[in-house]
Amino acid sequence: MKTILYIIQKEFKQIFRNKGMLPIIFVLPLLQLVILSNAATFEVQHIKFGYIDNDHTSTSRALIERFNASTYFDVLTNFPSEAIASSEMLKGDVDVVLEIPHYFERDLQKEKHNSLGVTINAIDGAAAGVENVYLTQIIQNFNKQLKVDLTQLSDQQVQPTQIETIPLFWYNETLNYKTFMVPGILVLLVTMITLFLSGMNIVREKEVGTLEQINVTPIKKSQFIIGKLFPFWVIGMGLLTVGLILARLIFNVPMIGSLFLMYFYTSIYILVILGIGLFISNFTETQQQSMFIAWFFTVIFILMSGLFTPIESMPKWAQIVTEFNPIKYFVEVMRMVMLKGSGFTDILPQLLKTLLYALIMNGLAVWSYKKTT
């Protein structure tokens, strides 16, 4: 036991002695949490909207006014011609162009039916779909208004059937994206810091040559590994704590569930990550290699975690692959417990899988670590 304490002491001293690293471990992640959580939003707002009004009548102006009034669209300009509009779109200065044809009002009154040309920049397919929905909504509302303005009473004989929908957004009525992203990004930062630090640690001793010195001491394998990993476990838990405080104070993220459950889960989760880090550092020769491998898996884990994009939209085989992704479980648990107040039984499947993962990874890591070279 005493031996372990000495190793832990040595590790902490090494961490705190490296003045260049301290801000990277403690300040950078929290700064990123505070700043970048604001950036992660799929909400489509301030759509750059332009129009070509070939009609110049009160109807066409009233329609444009609708777009002006909408909070989604930033109405830019009236383009004199289609050529200018499409060149502006090539430059990226406008994303949606509405073209009102000649004699729009006259034809509408005559035929009671007319169409508008809309061009949408669809490079971001998802955003383009949403933009199209907003635009259609505005035009539909405009149609209703037209009916009231232009229809004679005799037209309204049969009452149309109507199915009314009431959307209810539970747990997040204002659809605030930050409450969704902050727990996710916090998960990511805790993971990245603990994985990178543990992945580099032993391999660094190998590269510099001090590992040999430790190997010839009477320290046991398990003592060495526990002593090596414990400091990073503490750092991970510390980051989680500060991150949670920031989430509460700055972003006002609700914390409905039990804090104890969050900490309990995280304490097991960090073991998984440390196991992976140790495993990587056993199989690599240089810090560069170990970082490359850690980075490779981190990027794939992040992208497949459901943090930024929904897992259920992935094809079946990819969903099966995500079962092996520890970050996925952590993201799920954090969001469930913090935002919905899920209890122990709700997160039991994730908890058990994480526990199993931790046992396997640490078992492999201890097994593959050899005191002799």
Listed ranges 169-177, 211-219, 227-235, 361-369: which one lies at the site for other proteins (CB under 8 A) = 169-177
Residue from 58, 154, 159, 372 in contact with other proteins (CB under 8 A): 159
User: Strand pairing partners for 97?
Assistant: 50, 119
For residue 97, what is the enclosing H or E element? strand 96-100
* Strand 47-53, strand 73-78: pairing: parallel
C-beta separation of 201 from 273 below 8 A: no
| Total residues in contact with other proteins, by rule CB under 8 A | 124
With respect to other proteins, which residue has the nearer C-beta, 120 or 359? Answer: 120
Neighbours of 284 (CB within 10 A): 21
Q: Which of 1, 71 has the CB closer to other proteins?
A: 71
CB 327 within 8 A of CB 299: no
- Binding range to other proteins, per CB under 8 A, among 5-13, 166-174, 212-220, 224-232: 166-174
Nearest-approach distance from CB 1 to other proteins, in angstroms: 29
State residue 35 phi and psi, 5-degree precision. -80, -50
CB of 231 to other proteins, least distance (A): 14
Query: Which of 116, 242, 268, 366 forms a contact with other proteins (CB under 8 A)?
Result: 116
Q: Is 323 in the site for other proteins (CB under 8 A)?
A: no
The one segment of 5-13, 175-183, 211-219, 356-364 that binds other proteins by CB under 8 A: 175-183
CB of 60 to other proteins, least distance (A): 11
Write down the least CB distance from residue 211 to other proteins, Å.
15
44 binds other proteins (CB under 8 A): yes
Look-up of token digits 């079962």: 323
Residue 114 tokens, joined: 């007319």
What b/e string do you get for 28-42 counting C-beta neighbours within 10 Å, with b at 16 or more? ebbebbbeebeeeee
Among 58, 71, 143, 373, binds other proteins (CB under 8 A): 143
Q: Which of 17, 102, 169, 218 is in the footprint of other proteins by CB under 8 A?
A: 169
CA distance 265 to 333: 8
C-alpha separations of 135 from 67, 116, 322 in Å = 8, 11, 36
Identify the residue among 237, 255, 268, 314 touching other proteins (CB under 8 A). Answer: 314
Contact range with other proteins by CB under 8 A, out of 4-12, 241-249, 267-275, 310-318? 310-318
User: Binding to other proteins (CB under 8 A): which residues in 83-112?
Assistant: 89-92, 98, 108, 112
Does 120 interact with other proteins (rule: CB under 8 A)? Answer: yes
128 is an interface residue for other proteins by CB under 8 A = yes
E-assigned strands of 303-366?
none
212 binds other proteins (CB under 8 A): no
| Contact call for residue 45 and other proteins (CB under 8 A) | yes
Please report whether residue 362 would count as binding other proteins according to CB under 8 A.
no
Q: Which of 58, 154, 161, 372 binds other proteins (CB under 8 A)?
A: 161
34, 289, 364, 371: which one contacts other proteins (CB under 8 A)? Answer: 289
Piece of 220-228, 239-247, 338-346, 363-371 that binds other proteins (CB under 8 A) = 338-346
Distances from the Cα of 64 to the Cαs of 58, 74, 142, 198, 367, in angstroms? 10, 11, 10, 59, 70
Interacting residues with other proteins between 235 and 264 (CB under 8 A): none
Residue 165 identity (one-letter amino acid): T
Task: Put the strands of the sheet holding 47-53 in their side by side order.
Answer: 73-78, 47-53, 96-100
- Of 325, 39, 309, 37, which is closest to residue 189 (Cα–Cα)? 37
Torsions phi, psi of 78, nearest 5?
-95, 110
Does residue 125 touch other proteins according to CB under 8 A? Answer: yes
Q: Residue 96 forms beta bridges with which residues?
A: 49, 120
